[in-house]
Copies of this chain bind each other. A is one copy, B any other.
Amino acid sequence: MSEQIQPEQTEKTDQNEAPASFEDVYAVSTELVRTVEAALEDNDDAALREVLKPLRPADMADLVVVLGRENRNRLAVVLGNDLAIDTLVDLEGSVLADLLAVMSPHAVARAIPELDTDEAVHLLEEMNDARREQVLAQVPAPDRAAVLEGLSFPEDSAGRLMQRDLIAVPAYWSVGQVIDYCRDTDELPDEFYEIFVIDPRHRPIGQVALNRLMRTRRPVLLREIMEAEATTIPVDMDQEEVAFLFQQYRLTSAPVVDAVGRLVGVITFDDAAAVLEEEAEEDLMRLSGVSSETDLLDTALRTTRTRASWLLLNLGTAILASLVIAMFEATIEQIVALAILMPIVASMGGNAGTQTLTVAVRALATRELTAANSMRIVGKEIVVGALNGLLFALLVGLVAAWWFDAPTLGIVIAVAMVINMVVAGLAGTLIPLGLNRAGIDPAVAATVFLTAVTDVVGFFVFLALAALFLL
């Protein structure tokens, strides 16, 4: 390492200067986007290809996303079938569908054999049935069979995530045999991190990480160095559970087995990371009433439609709250201060409830909240609601009493506040726990239920107490 510097090495290092910041590493700058937009505008195909040439597929995918729909399709037409298949693999939803529609079925079919099974399945999922058949008809038979098998597994199952290419060898092989096998075989997976050890019935009985192979001498048998307690994934396991296991046990790759325990594929850490990301995003979106993940890039019309259903649900709860207010029409007529103050009670309850709800939804996803500790957590959240309720009741009570010069009004709003915030803590935990026990994603519609509860309780308690004690 302390030898003379060789000419070609200095050259190399000059090219590879140390990056100083994120912008030196990540290629998709605003400047790049502007340059591409200008080239598309001018129909300057040569300039366009020149700018795009150094981009890695993943960066190309990001560029395609940031360009508008119109420029995106124009770009796809210019590049045509030269649009690298690796770029498509990194895309999803409406953007992927748009681009697949521009490419010829033949070009897609030609690329399929180069992809991992899970990647090919990802592309084919985004096509309608007619186009999928068109493409599949042109894929070589063995690859077609692999892809069709992939598509036969339920959506969001381990079977869809896995790739079929893997290295499986018997336990009596030596390290030297495995290395020779890898050197002599052309058809190895593109990437692999572990060698799987199987029994004569093709069931996985252990695995050996490559770094373990690297540090072991040739004559040693796999049986002696394999990890026998490795985590095995059933092919129909939900992808959310698969991702959880990868995170939990820091897995690099894991064998997937069929119903009788035979090794049928392998899932790698990058597949699992993508699912984790997707699930976290889904929780976030669902809590805010957004259903589709590619929402931002959809057309305005499609976005409007997907968001309307949630807004309609919310309208229902808002009208419910209005009906509660209407019950106290006569009271409000006499004391307008109630109309002025009532949104405070509802809003504070809603916010306290959302805090609890979000923490509970997240904790359910990470399995920090389970049947084993749910009652303790519900109890704690009630206490938190009561404590913050008391704190803010005091504050709001004083403000109201001073503002309207009415001490009793201050007491009424304070009591309503405490009650609503305890209810918020209760609803914020019980709603997601209930949805979860019913087998429903706790993030779905939880916020609507919660707001319905905190609005109705907030308005009712405040106005009813006012009707009782202020009239």
Query: Using Cβ atoms and an 8 Å threshold, which residues of chain B touch A21?
Result: 234, 237
Query: Using Cβ atoms and an 8 Å threshold, which residues of chain B touch A216?
Result: 183
Contact of A193 among B206, B211, B333 (CB under 8 A): B211
- Contact across chains for A214 and B205 when beta carbons are under 8 A apart: no
Query: Using Cβ atoms and an 8 Å threshold, which residues of chain B touch A348?
Result: 311, 314-315, 318
Query: Using Cβ atoms and an 8 Å threshold, which residues of chain B touch A192?
Result: 211
Nearest CB of B to A86, in Å: 10
Nearest CB of B to A281, in Å: 6
- Contact across chains for A284 and B370 when beta carbons are under 8 A apart: no
Q: Is A128 an interface residue (CB 8 A)?
A: no
- Contact across chains for B368 and A65 when beta carbons are under 8 A apart: yes
State the CA gap A247–B285 with chains docked (Å): 20
- Contact across chains for A396 and B315 when beta carbons are under 8 A apart: yes
Nearest CB of B to A22, in Å: 4
Q: Is A231 an interface residue (CB 8 A)?
A: yes
What residue in chain B is nearest A313 (Cβ atoms)? B351
Nearest CB of B to A241, in Å: 4
Query: Using Cβ atoms and an 8 Å threshold, which residues of chain B touch A338?
Result: 339
Q: Is A126 an interface residue (CB 8 A)?
A: no
State the CA gap A21–B245 with chains docked (Å): 12
- Contact across chains for A359 and B295 when beta carbons are under 8 A apart: yes
Given contacts A284-B287, A315-B392, whether A22 and B200 have CB atoms under 8 Å apart is: no
Interface string of A94-118 (1 = CB under 8 A from B): 0000000000000000000000000
- Contact across chains for B30 and A199 when beta carbons are under 8 A apart: no
- Contact across chains for B387 and A284 when beta carbons are under 8 A apart: no
Per DSSP, chain A at the interface is helix
Q: Is A329 an interface residue (CB 8 A)?
A: yes
Interface string of A255-297 (1 = CB under 8 A from B): 0010111000000011001001100110111011110000111
Contact of A358 among B20, B234, B285, B388 (CB under 8 A): B285
What residue in chain B is nearest A9 (Cβ atoms)? B199
State the CA gap A342–B325 with chains docked (Å): 10
Q: Is A363 an interface residue (CB 8 A)?
A: yes
Interface size on A, residues (CB 8 A): 162
Q: Is A434 an interface residue (CB 8 A)?
A: no
Q: Is A33 an interface residue (CB 8 A)?
A: yes
Q: Is A395 an interface residue (CB 8 A)?
A: yes
State the CA gap A234–B6 with chains docked (Å): 25
Q: Is A144 an interface residue (CB 8 A)?
A: no
- Contact across chains for B62 and A1 when beta carbons are under 8 A apart: no
Of A44-52, A75-83, A148-156, A376-384, the stretch lying at the interface with chain B is A376-384
- Contact across chains for B311 and A388 when beta carbons are under 8 A apart: yes
- Contact across chains for B336 and A9 when beta carbons are under 8 A apart: no
- Contact across chains for A343 and B321 when beta carbons are under 8 A apart: yes
Query: Using Cβ atoms and an 8 Å threshold, which residues of chain B touch A68?
Result: 373, 376
- Contact across chains for B325 and A252 when beta carbons are under 8 A apart: no
Q: Is A326 an interface residue (CB 8 A)?
A: yes
Residues of chain A in range 182-215 having any CB-CB distance to chain B below 8 Å: 182-183, 185, 188-189, 191-193, 198-206, 209-211, 213-215
What residue in chain B is nearest A231 (Cβ atoms)? B25
Q: Is A141 an interface residue (CB 8 A)?
A: no
- Contact across chains for A201 and B315 when beta carbons are under 8 A apart: no
Interface string of A302-326 (1 = CB under 8 A from B): 0110011011101101110110011
Query: Using Cβ atoms and an 8 Å threshold, which residues of chain B touch A19?
Result: 232-234, 257
State the CA gap A249–B307 with chains docked (Å): 32
Q: Is A437 an interface residue (CB 8 A)?
A: no
Contact of A288 among B22, B346, B355 (CB under 8 A): B355
Query: Using Cβ atoms and an 8 Å threshold, which residues of chain B touch A451?
Result: 347
Query: Using Cβ atoms and an 8 Å threshold, which residues of chain B touch A342?
Result: 339
- Contact across chains for A179 and B214 when beta carbons are under 8 A apart: yes
5 examples of A-B residue contacts, CB within 8 angstroms: A4-B200, A22-B245, A269-B270, A284-B287, A284-B362
A-B pairs, top 8 by smallest CB distance, nearest first, are: A18-B261, A339-B339, A33-B372, A288-B358, A280-B280, A210-B210, A300-B383, A22-B241
20 additional contacts, CB 8 Å, given A1-B200, A277-B280? Answer: A13-B199, A13-B203, A13-B205, A20-B259, A58-B249, A66-B373, A191-B209, A193-B211, A269-B270, A280-B284, A284-B362, A296-B362, A296-B369, A311-B351, A311-B392, A315-B396, A318-B347, A319-B399, A322-B341, A329-B340
